[in-house]
Structure 1
């Protein structure tokens, strides 16, 4: 997976060479993020959100009328 992100980072840098200043900055920022993801153990990968707390089932056991 590291090689995948490194390739994307390089592609973004190549595109940035011929881009206008605004797009160049965005592409270089993107390349930097891909570089962080490409380093093993850097924590740059995507993490799952914490599990949601389930409400007590007693809240749902009523007759359904308000």
Structure 2
């Protein structure tokens, strides 16, 4: 029986949220004040990065374990 979740995208989003909020906290960045200051190019780059990370996580989760 596998310990992998039935819906890996839920875990993926939680992991991304945790990593981003932790990085912001460590660097003293307030998320609310940051939202209005991002350029459209920066927003697009972040969206692409999150999509790429999601694909990588999904691919990793779908791999069969080497036993």
TM superposition score category, shorter chain reference = 0.3 to 0.5
| Higher helix proportion (structure 1 or 2) | 2
TM-score under structure 2 normalisation?
Answer: 0.38
TM-score under structure 1 normalisation?
Answer: 0.38
RCO greater where, 1 or 2, for CA within 8 Å and sep 6 or more?
2
